[in-house]
């Protein structure tokens, strides 16, 4: 049952974050607590799972259930948890290194299966915890401790990836706009199915303050366009790949059967014990 009296503070553990002053991850923590309070989620019905990284410390600062897993493995653990405990709201969080690099092979599968869990990436385009190595989202030409002349790699584009992985909810926000961030987290938590939110979250220590300037000067709130329709996949692609601006908002949201829905329908048919029922159920999925 929703706790009407819960305030954002009730969702915090009371541990003092050890992030550097100015780190974008503070805003994500605040936004998550505020979104949980707005949704009135019972604390004991929420589990936040992470991997390893500065950003992956986030579950420790929350007073919900939490699991700090190994590097890159937030998503498979979150998926297993959600499938075995459907009564829980399960949120996976982590960094661009954790989710797109070492853990990158898990994203396509939770997306295409449409498991009812949520994923927030704190994308600072660097490996923060390990002191500033190049990451899969570091822009080409960027100097880091492992690319002293500038990165020679083309970065991946998370929004483009998630659209092609068939994620049923794809959005982007930034630590620089707390209200927008809260609204995106609330929307993703309300979505039934796999929901992905990329958060442009500056690392002041290893990427400097210029990340703030870039996000501030190049962001565009795409869903403020008149007649904006988040179910339009072609528009979503445009906003995901355009080099002209950083798209903020829900790029794509479309409801379809979750993995759990199909599993339950098949189970019901199997229980009925008739082969023809099973075949009909399968045909329904293939439409
Ligand atoms: C198997 C394994 N490989 C490498 C590491 C070292 N390591 C810890 S965190 C990290 C990258 C962190 O970057 P990111 O996920 O972007 O998080 P951030 O610190 O930037 O928030 C790496 C390479 C590890 N802990 N385990
Ligand atoms: S190193 Fe970067 S990502 Fe890590 S806490 Fe400091 S500012 Fe944040
Ligand atoms: Mg990072």
Q: Which fold has domain 8-255?
A: Rossmann fold (3.40.50)
* Residue ranges of the chain whose pLDDT lies below 50: 1-3
136 CA → ligand 2 middle, Å: 17
For residues 178 and 30, the answer to whether their CB atoms sit within 8 Å is yes
pLDDT in tens, 42-101: 999 999 999 999 999 999 999 999 999 999 999 999 999 999 999 999 999 999 999 999
Ligand 1 pocket, 23 CB below 6 A? no
- List of E strands, 127-221: 169-174, 195-200, 219-221
Query: For the packed helices 259-272 and 275-286, what is the interaxial angle rounded to 10 degrees?
Result: 160
Task: Verify whether ligand 1 is closer than 6 Å to residue 32 (CB atom).
Answer: no
Q: According to the model, what pLDDT value does residue 1 have?
A: 46
Instruction: Report pTM.
Output: 0.96
Q: Is the CB of 52 under 6 A from ligand 1?
A: yes
Q: Which of 239, 97, 76, 263 is nearest to 162 (CA)?
A: 239
Q: Please identify, by atom number, the ligand 2 atom nearest to the C-alpha of residue 20.
A: 6
* Ligand 1: centre distance to CA 254 (Å): 32
Helix, strand or coil for residue 235? helix
**In the chain, what are the domain boundaries?**
8-255, 257-287
How high is the pLDDT of residue 278? 74
Q: Are 136 and 98 in contact (CB under 8 A)?
A: no
Rounded to 5°, angle at Cα 8 from 116 and 121: 45
- Check if the beta carbon of residue 134 is closer than 8 Å to that of residue 146: yes
Of 52, 58, 124, 131, the residue with max ligand 2 atoms within 8 A of its CB, to mutate for a pocket test, comes to: 124
DSSP secondary structure letter of residue 191: S
């Amino acid at each position: 049952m929703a706790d009407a009296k819960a305030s954002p503070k009730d969702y915090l553990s009371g541990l003092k974050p050890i992030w550097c002053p100015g780190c974008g991850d503070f805003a994500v923590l605040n936004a998550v607590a505020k979104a949980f309070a707005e949704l009135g989620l019972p604390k004991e019905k929420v589990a936040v799972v992470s991997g390893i990284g500065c950003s992956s410390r986030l579950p420790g600062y929350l007073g919900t259930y939490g699991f700090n897993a190994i590097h890159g493995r937030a998503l498979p653990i979150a998926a297993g948890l959600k499938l075995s405990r459907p009564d829980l709201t399960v949120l996976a969080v982590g960094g661009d290194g954790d989710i797109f690099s070492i853990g990158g092979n898990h994203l396509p599968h939770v997306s295409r299966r449409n498991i009812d869990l949520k994923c927030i990436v704190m994308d600072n385009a660097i490996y923060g915890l390990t002191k500033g190595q190049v990451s899969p989202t570091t822009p080409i030409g960027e100097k880091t401790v492992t690319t002293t002349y500038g990165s020679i790699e083309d970065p991946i584009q998370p929004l483009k990836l998630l659209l092609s992985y068939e994620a049923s909810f794809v959005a982007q926000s930034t630590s620089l706009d707390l209200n927008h961030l809260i609204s995106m987290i609330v929307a993703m938590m309300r979505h039934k199915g796999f929901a992905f939110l990329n958060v442009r979250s500056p690392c002041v220590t290893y990427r400097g303050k210029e990340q703030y300037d870039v996000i501030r000067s190049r962001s565009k709130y795409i869903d403020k366009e008149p007649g904006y329709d988040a179910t339009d996949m072609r528009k979503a692609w445009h906003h995901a790949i355009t080099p002209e601006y950083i798209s903020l908002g829900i790029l794509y949201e479309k409801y379809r059967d979750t993995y759990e829905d199909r599993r339950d329908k098949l189970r019901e048919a199997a229980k009925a014990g008739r082969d023809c029922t099973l075949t009909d159920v399968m045909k329904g999925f293939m439409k």
